[in-house]
Amino acid sequence: MNQLLMRHNALSVCEQSIGFAVEKIINCYENGGKVLICGNGGSSADGEHIVGELMKGFLKSRPIPEEKRAEMLKNYSIDGEVLDKLQMGLPAISLPSIVGLNSAFCNDVSPELIYAQGVFALAKKEDVLIAISTSGNSKNVVQAVKVAKSLGITVISLTGKTGGLLKDLSTVCICVPETETYKVQELHLPVYHYICAEVEKHFFKA
């Protein structure tokens, strides 16, 4: 955390909430859960970025453990070179990337509920929903959070300074101290890089 705050001193006001977010995601994975992420525009792209950092090696190589390798080789005669290249992943899904579902639900039912439907269909109590909205008021993100909360799911939100509606709806709300969209997004990047690195470090020691 010290290195993050040295490079981005403005984030010192978020130190506690960032730490809580790390704890919640570690707890999620320790209990067999997964991370769901939603956002719009640049926030959607940030969600895809987070998925990339969680689902493959970020700062660590994450080789398949020998026990897992042996199990896979026993079940099927897979090429050992393939197993050398595969990496252990932390399961994460970007809800905006489910284009077929989102476009159908938007057209047939409601554009404001596209992410809410994804949460309802995919989430279980052990999961975490990461909701990204620079204003904290994006309607489809807010609805997804409301559904998540009704299902007893932990919600971590990344927002701008005020937190908007998400501030009171979320389990943890990281309100970075900016109000302009692009400036908020510039601070979201080091926040989620830090979170992903800390979670990875917890599960992959090498």
- Residues pairing with 151 in the sheet: none
Is 75 among the domain residues?
A: no
Is 73 among the domain residues?
A: no
Is 154 among the domain residues?
A: yes
In this predicted model, what pLDDT tens digit does every residue of 45-67 receive, in sequence order? Answer: 999 999 999 999 999 999 999 99
Instruction: Name the domain count of the chain.
Output: 1
Is 194 among the domain residues?
A: yes
Query: Is the confidence at residue 205, as pLDDT, over 80?
Result: yes
In this predicted model, what pLDDT tens digit does every residue of 70-96 receive, in sequence order? Answer: 999 989 888 889 999 999 999 999 999
Query: Is the confidence at residue 150, as pLDDT, over 90?
Result: yes
The mean predicted confidence, pLDDT, of the chain is 97
> Which tops the pLDDT comparison, 30 or 79?
30
Q: What's the rounded Cα separation, in Å, for the pair 25 and 23? A: 6
What integer pLDDT is reported at residue 80 of this predicted model? 87
> Domain span at residue 110?
2-59+89-203
199: CATH = 3.40.50.10490
Which residues lie closer than 8 Å to 96 by C-beta, 6 or more apart? Answer: 38, 39, 40, 44, 47, 48, 102, 115
Is 29 among the domain residues?
A: yes
**Would you tell me how many other CB atoms lie within 10 Å of the CB of residue 60?**
15
